[in-house]
């Protein structure tokens, strides 16, 4: 059963909605200060916009999401 770990960064957009960035290859031992600093840099860069809305204007939250995949069957290896 492979388990994957993804870091999800959630921001508030310029129109007060949520926008997230998911990073599947992020270091798994980042602390709050490190993640906040990175999110603040992303927000201050003002580099992401869609349809006139700045996507990442303020950091809201960050979570590690762990997912375990259990295969019921896998015929791809028998070909």
Residue 66 has pLDDT above 90, yes or no: yes
Dihedral sign from CA coordinates of 45, 47, 53, 59: negative
Greater confidence, 24 or 78? 24
Greater confidence, 13 or 74? 13
Strands (E), 25-79: 49-50, 53-54, 58-68
DSSP 40: H
Average pLDDT over residues 8-15: 97
Residue 79 has pLDDT above 70, yes or no: no
Measured CA to CA, the distance from residue 39 to residue 37 in angstroms comes to: 5
């Amino acid at each position: 059963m492979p388990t994957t770990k993804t870091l999800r960064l959630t921001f508030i957009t310029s129109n007060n909605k949520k926008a997230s960035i998911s990073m599947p290859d992020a270091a798994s031992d980042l602390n709050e200060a490190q993640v906040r600093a990175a999110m603040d840099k992303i927000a201050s860069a003002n580099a992401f916009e869609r349809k006139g809305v700045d996507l990442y204007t303020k950091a809201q939250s960050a979570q590690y999401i762990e997912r375990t995949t259990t295969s019921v069957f896998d015929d791809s290896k028998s070909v």
